[in-house]
Amino acid sequence: MRVVMIDSEVDRHNASVMKDNPVIFEWDIRRKCLKTPGKGRRVVTHRVQEGHGTAIHSIIRECRDIAEIIIVSVPYLEEQMKEEDLLACIQAVEDEIRPDFYNLSLGLDVCEQEDSFRALCESIRLRGGVILAAFDNDGAYAYPACFDSVIGVYGAGDIRRKQDYKYVLDDEVNLLAYGGRQIVEWSDPPKMIVEGNSFACAHATVIAVSLAAKYCSDGPVNLFRIKQVLQEHADETVRFIDEKPQMTEKERWNSETVEKVAIFPLNKEMQVLCENDDLLSFSIVDIYDVRQSLRIGRRAEEYLHRSMKNELYIEDIRHIQWDEFDTLIVGHLKELSRICGRDLWSEIVPEALKRGKRVFSLDSPRAEAEGKKGLYYPRVEEKDVPVNKFGMMHVAGKPVLGVFGTGSGQGKFTLQLAIRREMLRRGYRIGQIGTEPTSELFGIDEVFPIGYQASVRTRDMDNVLILNEMVHSLCRKEVDMIIAGSQSGTVTYSNQNFSLYNMMQYEFLLGTWPDAVILCVNPYDDTELIRRTISFIESSCHAKVIGINLFPLSVQESPFSYSKIKLSMDELENKRELLSREIGLKIFIGYLQIERIVDLIEDYFGEEAT
C-alpha cells in the first residue's frame, strides 16, 4: 500500500526523516506540478521553520513497515495554501502516484470551488482511493473533511491514547481520534507539545492503514470497506443525537405557478409589495380592504411612494371577485380584526382554499386550517435547526452585506429591495436573507421572519445555527454577494421592558456574520446611539459599518399624539452634513442615492478582494 501525506515541508535533517529516507515530492506552486522526488537526505536551500509536516510524518511513520509513505511537501504552507493550489496538487498526486490512502492534516474553511473539489474526491473514491482529512482546529467546518466521499476526522477530548478511536455514524464527521496534547518531532525546536485535529487525522490514518493491512488483504481497499472495518473495530460507535425534531427539507414558496394575485389588506407589508411590484414574478390584479379603513374606491397609488405597473383601485373585501386571481396574499389581520370585531382570517382564508386558490398568509393559520393544501405561511420551526456537530460553523466564502438599524420603521426592507434591484441591474448574482414575511414573494432565497408578529419559533444558539446554515446554502449557489437585512434596532438602549431587548437582532448578527453593514438611522436619533450601534456591530463580529442611510421622515410629538412628518431636502441635507462630521462616515438620504450606495458597496468589497 502507498500512503501520501500532503503537508508543509518536512525537515530533511530530522533524525526520523533521515532514518526512513522517504520519497519526497515538492509541489511547485508556480508551475502547478510535482517536482522530481528527492531523498530524505537532500539539502534544502532554505531552513524549514514550520514543523507541522515533520510532526505529521513522525506520527504516520508508525505504519512504515506495512506501507510505503510518500511525502508531498508544500513550501510555505503555513502561510495558507490557496484553494486552487490544493485542488491542483491533489489532482497531480492522483494522476502520477494514485495512492491507496491520502492523509490531509489540513483543509480549507472557505471553499469557493466546492463542486469541483467534491467531484475530485468522489473520483478518487470511485477509483478505490481513501482520503482522511482533518476538520479545522478552530472548530469550523473544513473541506474536504466534510465531504461524504472523505473520512472526516475530529479530535475528541475524551480519547487519551493514540490507538483509540470512535466511529461516528454521520456523512461529515466519521472518526473521533486522539488530538489531545502530545509531544511530536518538530523543526525548530526539535520537539513540540501540540494538540488539534490535524494530529488526530494522522493517528486516524495510521489506524486505517493498519486495519486495511490486516483485514483487507483479500480484496481491494476502498472507502466502503475501510469504513466497515473501522466501525467493526472501533472502541465505540456513536451518532449525533438531538432531542429536537429531525431537520427536514424546508418547505418553500413556489411562485412558478402564480400568475395573478390579489392582496388583502393594504397594510404596511402590502404597500411595500405594491411599491416594488417590478421585482415580482407575478402580477397584482386586485387590492382589497375593509370599509373601516376608509380607503374603498380610492386609487392605491395615493398610499404608495412608488407607482405600480397597473393602476388599481382598492375594493371592498365583501365583494371579492374570486375568478380574477389564482393566489391570495393575506397580510397581518390581528389589529384589523379587532377593529372590525370579527376574525377576518377565518372568514377569508378557508373560503379561498375551498375555491382552489393558493394562499400566502403572513399570519400563522388557525388550527383547523393547519396543513391544508394550497396554504403557505413563512415560519422557522424546531425542525429547521441543523444538528450541531462539536459546535462547528460554516465560514462564508462570499461577501455578506448586512442592513441594520437603530430602530423600527426606517424602511430597511425597502432599502434592501432597492439594493437588490440595482445590483441585479448591474449583473450581479444576489443571494439574500430577508426578515420580512413577504421576502419569498420577491424571490429572496431565505426568510427569517423576526419582524411584526414574528413567526420564528426557535431561539438563542438555534437561531445562530439556522442562519449560519442559510448563509452556507447561499454560498453553494455560487452567488456574487449575500444581502442579509435585520429588523428594528440593534443595541438595547433601555432596560425598562423586556421587549426593548434586541435579542433576535443580535442572534441575526451572529448568524449572518456580515463583512460590511449599511446602518439605517432616523433624523432624530441621538448621535451617541448611532455611535453605540456602530461600535456594537463592529465589536460583535468582523463587520465594518461602511455607510449610513438617513430615513427621510422625522417625528412630531405632543402630550397626546405621535406622528411622522416628511422633512424637506434642505433639512435632510443639513442633518446629513452634521452626521457626516460627527460620525465620519458617508451618509445617504433615503432611496434617492441608491446608485451611490451600491457604488460604495462595490468599492468596499473590491478593495477587500485586492
The pLDDT, as a whole number, for residue 78 is 61
CA-to-CA separations, 139 to 110, 136, 508, in angstroms, rounded: 13, 5, 20
pLDDT along the chain (610 residues), means of 10: 94 89 91 75 51 95 96 79 90 96 95 94 97 93 96 95 96 95 91 95 98 86 95 93 56 87 96 95 97 95 91 96 97 94 95 96 88 92 89 94 94 95 96 96 95 89 96 93 95 83 95 98 93 96 95 71 77 92 93 92 79
CB-based contacts of 558: which residues, under 8 Å, 6+ apart? none
**Phi then psi dihedrals of residue 25, to 5 deg:** -95, 150
CA-to-CA separations, 242 to 246, 247, 382, 424, in angstroms, rounded: 8, 10, 11, 40
The pLDDT, as a whole number, for residue 490 is 95
Cα 403–Cα 109–Cα 156 angle in degrees, nearest 5: 120
Q: Is 101 exposed, middle or buried (0-12, 13-18, 19+ CB in 10 A)?
A: buried
Residue in 388, 566, 532 with CA at minimum distance from that of residue 460: 388
**β-pairing verdict for 130-134 and 151-156:** parallel
Beta strands in 379-504 (DSSP E): 400-405, 430-434, 446-447, 481-485
The pLDDT, as a whole number, for residue 107 is 92
CA dist., res. 64 & res. 206, Å (int)? 9
CA dist., res. 492 & res. 505, Å (int)? 10
What is the model's pTM? 0.90
**β-pairing verdict for 516-521 and 400-405:** parallel
Place of cell 469504513: 227
CA dist., res. 248 & res. 108, Å (int)? 27
The pLDDT, as a whole number, for residue 45 is 45
The pLDDT, as a whole number, for residue 44 is 47
